[in-house]
Structure 1
C-alpha cells in the first residue's frame, strides 16, 4: 500500500540506512537488537473487484483504513505482551510442494528420488485464507531431472527483515461474511516454523461491519486482538502442537511436544489442561493449588474459545460484546506461556471480574441457577450487567447453556453514554444521570410525592438505574443522583438519597477495585461507540501572576474556557464533554459528536480550532484575572497528521540526525584514507 508522507516529514528510514552504511564502513556491522519482542509485519492485500451489492471502492478503502489503524494499535500492544526467540536473518515462508509440483520422482534408486519432476502448469503462487503471499516472502522452487542438477524456476525472495510473524490482511465481503452476518472478522494460521511456532497468518475483516458506524475504533481493536491471538497460537488446531519448555526463553530451543494439552473431565467438559492455565484459573476463582484445567467452549471436535459460563469478558470467548466489556485476562496470557513459544509479560494483563473468587463450582450448569452466585440471575426484569456499565435484562444465549445473566440492553441502556440521557426539561422522577462516569445501580428511587394509598410503592422491586459514582478508597465510593449531594455508598448496603423515596443498593466487589487515589473514577469505557472518533483537546493556560484558583473556581473557569472554544469554533456545545482544569492549569475537554448533534464532523471542528488557536490564542476573563492559552495538543484514538509543534520537534530531530551523519561521514572518510581499499560491491 502506498505510503503518502507529509511534506514536512523527515526521511527517517533513509537516515537509518545511512547510519547503517557508516557503521559498516567504520568496521562495525549492525544487527537486530536482542529485544525479543515479537516482530509482526502487516501486509494488506486488496481483493479483486467484487460483484457484491456494496460499493467496493469507497467502502473497501474506508474499511481498510479502519482495519489498518486498529492493526497498528494491536500489534504495538502484542509487542508489549509477548516475546520470542527472534528469527535469524530475513523471514522466508515455505512453498507448498503439493501446489507447485505436479509429479515427483518415485524410484528410490534414482539420485533425485522424491523431488519434483514436473511442475503444476496451473500454479499461481501461495495464498493464506484467500490472501496472496508475495513471492518476495517465499522460498524459491526448482524442477529436478531424473539425474543431475535442478533447474531453478523461482529463486528465494529477499524475505522480511526483523520479523517473527507475517500477518496478511483482507477486507472483503466473503461467502462466510454473507452466510454468517454476525461475524466481524475471522482468521487462520498459515505456516509454522521447525518448532511449530506460527510464522504467518491472515485476518479477514467482513467489510459490511467496518463500514458501519455502530462499530467503534476500540471495538475493531479488540476484535483484531482476538483474531491475532488465534493466529499466534490460541487455536484448537494449534493446541496439539504446543511445546513443553523451560521457563527461560533462552532455553526454549530444546522443547518437546506437550503430551496432553486438552482433556475431558468426569462430566465430559473439554478442558485446556496445561500447568500455567490451571494455576491461573485457580488463582482467579480463589481455589488453592491448581485445577484440572480451564473449560473450553464446545465447538465440535476442536475448540478455540474459552467457555462463556466461566470467562465472560475474556477477549477469547466466542461472543464479542464490545471493547468496553472485554479484557485481555491473565488466564489467556497463561495459555501463551504454556504454548512454549512465547515469554509473557503478565503486568499487561487486565483484571477479569467475572467469577472472581467464586470457588471451584462456579459456572457449572448445575449451580448457575440455584442463586449461589450473584454473577448469574434467576429472575426476570431489568438489572445491571456485572460490570455496571450498562443496564441489563436477565437472559441466556446458546453459549450459556441455560444459565442466565444480566446481558446489556440492546440500546439506550449504556449508563456511560451522555446521549442516552433525557432531553432537557423532561421529567426525571428516578434522578438518573447518563455520563462517562455513571454506572448502573439497583434502585427503586423516586422523587414523586407518595400519598398514603401509594405507600406500597416503597416496596417496588429495584431495577437498574444510572447514577454518577466517584471512588473514595479502594473498593469504596460515593454516588450522586440528579439534584442530590454526593452520598457515601458502602458496598453491600442500601442507602437513602435526600429528596428521593426508596433505596439505592451499593454493589460489593464490582467498583473502584484498583489502587487509585480518592478523587479517582472507576475506569470509564475505552469506547464511546459514536460515529465519530473520540478526541481530547488539551490547552495550557497562563494566568495573572499571584492569582491562584481553588477547585470550585477551576470548575467555573473550565466552563468559561469551554464557552470561548465553542464561540471560536462557531459550533454547538454538543461536541464537547467533561471539561476540566488541573491544578497546573491544563484545560482538557473530550470531543465527540453524538447522534442528533448538528454540524461538521468532529475531525473538521478539531482542525478548525487548532488552526485558529495557533493563529490567535484564546484569552478569557475570569473574576479579576486574564487567562491565555499557550499551546495546543491533540490526543486521538486514530492516526492523524502531526501538529505543528510535533512537526517542529521532528524537524529538529532530523537536523540532529543529519549532523550526526555528517560527522560519521567525515570519520569514515578519514579512516578509509589510511587503509587499503579492496573491491567493493553495491
Structure 2
C-alpha cells in the first residue's frame, strides 16, 4: 500500500503484491506423519459459534543483515507509534470480522524444506517421503524477516526408514486466546530504502487447514516513524493512523491477489449477518474469484461484492464484479476511478478521505473465512448512485458526472472558473488533476497544505486579510463561490473577484439533504442544493452542492464529517454482553438490531452519560451484544476508563435488566469475565518498559489500563 508521509507528496509504487509473492505460504503438513502421530499437528478444535477475531501482536527487534538500527531514542519512539496504531486497528477489526475461534493455544507450522535436507524416497517403506536427514544450517522460521519464536511453532522429528521418529524439537506452548498472530518489525529495510515514501508494508505467512490466514508480518519503515519533525499526533493522524494500518491488516487477512485463489464458497454460513453461526463444513474452494470483462478489465467477481457494488451504483440486480487496479499479473486493490476513498484502493489520501466501505466488507464475506458485521461499514460517497457507466475511462472526461472534473472547467453558474474547486467530500479545497491510478481521469485533489476547511488554524491569516468571508471551523465545508465584501469594478467585464473558486464557509444541517451556510459576519442562510444563494453584506454568489452534504438524519453530523483524531486511550475498551436466547425463540436481523438499541440505551442510562461513549453496537446470531467504547470529540463527562470501571462495578452490585418483546434479559455478575488483553507480554523486557513508559507519559493517569480490554457478561433471560 502507498502510505504518504504528507498529503500532496507523490505516491510511491505499491508494495503488497511484490511483498506477498516473496513469502512462502505455509499450512499444516498432515501427510508428513503417520496416523498415530498426527494428533500433534491436527488443526485445533474450534467452537461452533463465531466470535470477534482475536489478533495478537508480537514485536521483534531482530534485524536482517541488510538492515540498520535507528538510534535508541528514535527506534523506541517509532516502535511506540507503530504499536499504538496497531492496537487501534486491531480493536476496530474486532468489530468487523468474526471467526470460529481457536480453542487452546495457536501453533504455527514449520517449513519442511527449511529443516529437512533429504526425505526417504522408497515408496514401499512406511516412512516414505518423511525427513531422513536434517539440514544442519536450519535456524528456525521467519515471516517477512521477523523471527518466529520456537514457542509459537510446532515441533519436528527425524525419521528412520522404518519405525518411530526421533523427536528433535517438541511443540512449543503456543499463543493463547489468539486467532491471528501478527509480527511487527520497525526497521530500515531495503524496501524502505528503495521506496522513500513508503511507511509500511505487510504479508501473510501462514494459513490454517482451510486456508484462512493465521499469521503475518507488518514492517514499518524507521525513517518515517522516528522523524523528529513529526509529533505523535501528526504521525498517528497522517502516517500510521489506524486507517492506514487497517489497510495493511486487511491485506494479510485475505484481501490479496495471492489469497483470492484460496477463497472458499460457504453458501449456508453467511446469512443473517452480522456474525452468524458459521457452517465451514459445507465450504469448498471457489471456482472463480476474478475474471475479465469484455474490455479486459480485471474484476473481483464474487456474489456479495457484485451485489454490494450494484447497490452502491444504483444498478438493479447485480453487476459482473468490482474492478481491480491493474498492477501486473495480480491485484490487491480496488480500481481508484470507481472506488475512490475506499480503504482498499492503492493510494492512501489521509484518514479524512478514507472509508471502510461496504464493498470491501462484502469481499471478506465472500472469502468464506469470516463472518462480517456489515453494520460497521462507512458510507462511500464517491460514485454513489451514478449508474453502470461510472468510472470508465471513456466517460470520466465528458462531464457526465460531477465526481470528475475536466481540463476545461465549466462552472455550474456559467461564470468564470479559477480551476480551483472542492474535493468531492467538500472537506478540502482542491485542484483539478490526475495521477497514474486515475488513468487520465481527473478529480479535485486536496491541495498540499492549508486546504482543509475543517482546520481552524488554516483561517488565522486569511480572516484578517481576505475579503471573501471565509470561515475555517470543524463544521466548515468547501463551496464554489465568488463572494467578496469589496464593491465590484464596473469597468471590468470579469474582474478576478467574480471568478468562481473553492472557498471555506460554515454549514449546519437542518434535515436530510438540507443545510444552511454562514459567511464571516453574516446570518445563517438556507442553501438549497443545486441552487445559488446571495449572502447579506457580500457581492457575488455561493453555489450549494447537491447530493454531498447532510446525507443522514443526524443533524450536523453528516457523512462528510471531518476526521476524528482518537488518542490511544480513547480506543481501548470493548464491552460485550452475552445473552442466552429464550428457549424455542430466535431473533431475525431486524429484531437483533432493535434489541441492540434497547441494550445500548440501558447502558447509557446505567452509566448516566450520553451515547457519545458508545459506538458500533451489534448483536450476533448467538446473541452476543458488543459495543466499542471511546470518547468522541466534544463528549462531556468522565474518561472512558472511568466509565468502563463504573459500569462493570454496577453490574456486579445490581443486575442490568432489559425488556424486549415478551422477554426480560438480566445480567449475571458472577459471569463477568475479562478477555482479549492485547498486551506485549511476549516483547523483550527492555522494549516493553520503554513502550509502557512512553504510554504513561502520553496518557497520564490511564497507566496500565492502556492495554485493550474486553469484558464479557453472560446475560440470562426470563420471560414476563
Common fold by TM > 0.5: yes
Q: Which of 196, 217, 220 is matched with 1:202 structurally?
A: 217
Q: Which of 395, 402, 410 is matched with 2:440 structurally?
A: 402
| 1:415 CA drift (Å) | 1.1
What residue in structure 1 maps to residue 562 of structure 2?
A: 525
Secondary structure of the residue aligned to 2:299 is strand
Instruction: Work out whether 1:418 is the aligned partner of 2:433.
Output: no
| 1:647 CA drift (Å) | 8.8
Contact preservation (8 Å) 2:473, 2:506: yes
Q: Which structure 2 residues correspond to residues 43-54 of structure 1 after superposition, within 5 A?
A: 43-48=58-63
CA distance in 1, matches of 2:524, 2:502: 19
Q: Which of 115, 128, 131 is matched with 1:100 structurally?
A: 115
- The 1:324–1:188 alpha-carbon spacing in structure 2 relative to 1, beyond 3 Å, is same
| 1:344 CA drift (Å) | 0.6
Contact preservation (8 Å) 2:68, 2:188: no
Q: Which of 363, 367, 370 is matched with 2:391 structurally?
A: 363
- The 1:148–1:130 alpha-carbon spacing in structure 2 relative to 1, beyond 3 Å, is same
| 1:88 CA drift (Å) | 3.0
What residue in structure 2 maps to residue 241 of structure 1?
A: 262
Secondary structure of the residue aligned to 2:361 is helix
Secondary structure of the residue aligned to 1:284 is helix
What residue in structure 1 maps to residue 171 of structure 2?
A: 156
Q: Cα deviations across residues 637-681 of structure 1 (Å, max 9, x unaligned)?
A: x9657999979999xx9xxxxxxxxxxxxxxxxxxxxxxxxxxxx
Instruction: Work out whether 1:231 is the aligned partner of 2:231.
Output: no
| 1:210 CA drift (Å) | 1.8
What residue in structure 1 maps to residue 130 of structure 2?
A: 115
Q: Cα deviations across residues 135-165 of structure 1 (Å, max 9, x unaligned)?
A: 1110000111222221111100111122111
CA distance in 1, matches of 2:374, 2:59: 30
Q: Which of 361, 364, 369 is matched with 1:341 structurally?
A: 369
| 1:93 CA drift (Å) | 0.7
CA distance in 2, matches of 1:145, 1:51: 39
User: Whose relative contact order is higher, 1 or 2, with alpha carbons under 8 Å and at least 6 apart?
Assistant: 2
What residue in structure 2 maps to residue 274 of structure 1?
A: 302
CA distance in 2, matches of 1:170, 1:252: 33
| 1:188 CA drift (Å) | 0.6
Contact preservation (8 Å) 1:128, 1:190: yes
CA distance in 1, matches of 2:178, 2:463: 59
CA distance in 1, matches of 2:704, 2:280: 45
Instruction: Work out whether 1:190 is the aligned partner of 2:205.
Output: yes
Contact preservation (8 Å) 2:50, 2:100: no
Secondary structure of the residue aligned to 1:392 is strand
- The 1:366–1:32 alpha-carbon spacing in structure 2 relative to 1, beyond 3 Å, is closer
Q: Which structure 2 residues correspond to residues 560-599 of structure 1 after superposition, within 5 A?
A: none
What residue in structure 1 maps to residue 236 of structure 2?
A: 217
What residue in structure 2 maps to residue 17 of structure 1?
A: none
CA distance in 1, matches of 2:199, 2:429: 24
Q: Cα deviations across residues 429-451 of structure 1 (Å, max 9, x unaligned)?
A: 11111122111111111111123
Instruction: Work out whether 1:327 is the aligned partner of 2:355.
Output: yes
What residue in structure 1 maps to residue 514 of structure 2?
A: 476
Secondary structure of the residue aligned to 2:124 is coil
What residue in structure 2 maps to residue 671 of structure 1?
A: none
- The 1:457–1:528 alpha-carbon spacing in structure 2 relative to 1, beyond 3 Å, is farther
| 1:48 CA drift (Å) | 3.5
Q: Which of 291, 308, 321 is matched with 1:293 structurally?
A: 321
Number of residues paired by the alignment? 526
CA distance in 1, matches of 2:284, 2:421: 50
Contact preservation (8 Å) 1:184, 1:223: no
CA distance in 1, matches of 2:492, 2:568: 47
What residue in structure 1 maps to residue 288 of structure 2?
A: 260
Contact preservation (8 Å) 2:549, 2:558: no
Q: Which is further off, 90-99 or 157-166? A: 157-166
Contact preservation (8 Å) 1:47, 1:171: no
- The 1:295–1:642 alpha-carbon spacing in structure 2 relative to 1, beyond 3 Å, is closer
Secondary structure of the residue aligned to 1:478 is strand
CA distance in 1, matches of 2:254, 2:311: 23
| 1:95 CA drift (Å) | 0.2
Q: Cα deviations across residues 457-514 of structure 1 (Å, max 9, x unaligned)?
A: 3983311111111111111111111111111111111111111111111111111111
What residue in structure 2 maps to residue 541 of structure 1?
A: none
What residue in structure 2 maps to residue 667 of structure 1?
A: none
Secondary structure of the residue aligned to 1:331 is helix
CA RMSD of aligned residues (A): 3.1
Contact preservation (8 Å) 1:422, 1:428: no
Q: Which of 337, 346, 359 is matched with 1:318 structurally?
A: 346
- The 1:49–1:514 alpha-carbon spacing in structure 2 relative to 1, beyond 3 Å, is same
CA distance in 2, matches of 1:482, 1:238: 53
Instruction: Work out whether 1:448 is the aligned partner of 2:486.
Output: yes
Q: Which of 457, 465, 482 is matched with 1:427 structurally?
A: 465
Q: 5+ residue gaps in structure 1?
A: 1-30, 537-577, 590-637, 654-682
What residue in structure 2 maps to residue 494 of structure 1?
A: 532
Secondary structure of the residue aligned to 1:160 is coil
Q: Cα deviations across residues 26-56 of structure 1 (Å, max 9, x unaligned)?
A: xxxxx98956111111111114498878733
CA distance in 2, matches of 1:461, 1:54: 54
CA distance in 1, matches of 2:468, 2:340: 30
Q: Which is further off, 183-192 or 446-455? A: 446-455
Contact preservation (8 Å) 1:469, 1:521: no
What residue in structure 2 maps to residue 460 of structure 1?
A: 498
- The 1:195–1:588 alpha-carbon spacing in structure 2 relative to 1, beyond 3 Å, is closer
- For normalisation by structure 1, the TM-score amounts to 0.72
Runs of 4+ in 1 over 4 A off after TM superposition: 31-35, 49-54, 519-523, 532-536, 586-589, 638-650
